[in-house]
């Protein structure tokens, strides 16, 4: 589907971003990987994509808190592959604290990585997409782009901001052959979430099943985690010709969380 297309996927060395990068590569797209992690593991991921899918994959260590590095990441993709046709703004972090105790530096970091990085990457990529008359921008939002939870002020603010940024940019470039959408998952089953379970079991004196159903999945009526492959499949669809008239939307994938 995506032969001769190239994608930049931020936060793609693990979790949702990794699944999206793999899904694009499977469809024939060259990919720019980005994210933190062990250098050897990242190289293994990069080389594995090339060998399994027969596409080109490169890695950018761009820090999502640094605008210049974000722009350089996009330029690296353009220089290496000739274009950046698909941009997935996926990088994100979380920090939980009551507002009166919320560290200022953590607020700044969450806003920078979860929101401002999407602005900087989009700003850098749009001109090339306009020149080619085709582009797809997908922002990873969250159920928290639509609803709030206590103690997550920075994360909720950033994800609401992502939803607004998506709508605004979509309207600006609606006649340029470029779509801009965001995907808002509920709780997604990732290694990061799985690692939280034992600590929560101990802290709350709960069984594994209780933690999953009464804590993590409390807000999701289906009582099932979203999978990274499901998010990736939606991202692939949004890049297809069938989705060319879907733009400026916030697509919920949350097991019914925001329907309540």
Range of the domain at 144: 6-188+227-259
Judge whether 242 lies within some domain: yes
Could you give the 3-state DSSP secondary structure of residue 34?
strand
**pLDDT band at residue 23, thresholds of 50, 70 and 90?**
very high
Judge whether 132 lies within some domain: yes
Whether 183 contacts 235, CB under 8 Å: yes
Can you tell me the distance from the alpha carbon of 214 to that of 43, in angstroms, rounded to the nearest whole number? 38
Judge whether 219 lies within some domain: no
- Give the model's pLDDT for residue 78: 98
Judge whether 217 lies within some domain: no
User: How do residues 189-218 score in pLDDT, each as one tens digit?
Assistant: 988 788 878 878 887 899 999 999 998 999
CA dihedral sign of residues 31, 34, 35, 38: positive
Q: Which residues contact 235 (CB under 8 A, 6 or more apart)?
A: 20, 23, 24, 88, 138, 183
Judge whether 207 lies within some domain: no
How confident is the prediction for the chain on average, in pLDDT? 96
Judge whether 254 lies within some domain: yes
Judge whether 216 lies within some domain: no
Q: Which of 79, 183, 81, 70 is nearest to 136 (CA)?
A: 183
Is 187 catalytic? The answer is: no
User: How do residues 176-188 score in pLDDT, each as one tens digit?
Assistant: 999 999 999 999 9
Whether 136 contacts 86, CB under 8 Å: yes
**pLDDT band at residue 222, thresholds of 50, 70 and 90?**
very high
pTM, 2 dp = 0.95
Judge whether 199 lies within some domain: no
How many domains would you assign to the chain? Answer: 1
- Give the model's pLDDT for residue 1: 82
Q: Which range has the worst mean pLDDT, 113-117, 199-203, 249-253? A: 199-203
Alpha helices in 82-152 (DSSP H): 104-111, 117-132
- Give the model's pLDDT for residue 244: 98
Percent of the chain at pLDDT above 70?
100
Question: How far is CA 177 from its chain centroid?
Answer: 22
Candidate list 107, 155, 225, 257, residue with the active-site label: 155
CATH number of the CATH domain containing 51: 3.40.50.720
Can you tell me the distance from the alpha carbon of 188 to that of 152, in angstroms, rounded to the nearest whole number? 17
Q: What is the mean pLDDT of residues 56-67?
A: 98
- Give the model's pLDDT for residue 203: 76
């Amino acid at each position: 589907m995506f032969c001769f297309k190239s994608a930049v996927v931020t936060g793609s060395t693990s979790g949702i971003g990794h699944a999206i990068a793999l899904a694009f590569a499977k469809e024939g797209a060259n990919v720019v990987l980005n994210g933190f992690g062990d250098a050897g593991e990242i190289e293994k991921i990069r080389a594995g994509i090339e060998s399994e899918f027969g596409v080109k994959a490169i890695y950018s260590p761009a820090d999502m808190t640094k605008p210049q590095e974000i722009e350089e990441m996009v330029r690296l993709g353009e220089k290496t592959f000739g274009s950046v046709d698909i941009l997935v703004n996926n990088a994100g972090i979380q920090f939980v604290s009551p507002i009166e105790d919320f560290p200022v530096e953590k607020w700044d970091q969450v806003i920078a990585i979860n929101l401002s990085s999407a602005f900087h990457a989009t700003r850098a990529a749009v001109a090339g997409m306009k020149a080619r008359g085709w582009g797809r921008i997908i922002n990873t939002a969250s159920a928290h782009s639509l609803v709030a939870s206590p103690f997550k002020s920075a994360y909720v603010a950033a994800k609401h901001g992502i939803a607004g940024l998506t709508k605004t940019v979509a309207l600006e470039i609606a006649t340029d052959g470029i779509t801009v959408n965001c995907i808002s998952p509920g709780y997604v089953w990732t290694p990061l979430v799985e690692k939280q379970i034992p600590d929560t079991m101990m802290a709350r004196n709960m069984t594994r099943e209780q933690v999953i159903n009464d804590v993590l999945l409390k807000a999701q009526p289906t009582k099932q985690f979203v999978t990274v492959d499901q998010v990736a499949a939606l991202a692939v669809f949004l890049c297809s010709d069938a989705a060319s008239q879907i733009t400026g939307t916030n697509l919920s994938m949350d097991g019914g969380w925001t329907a309540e």
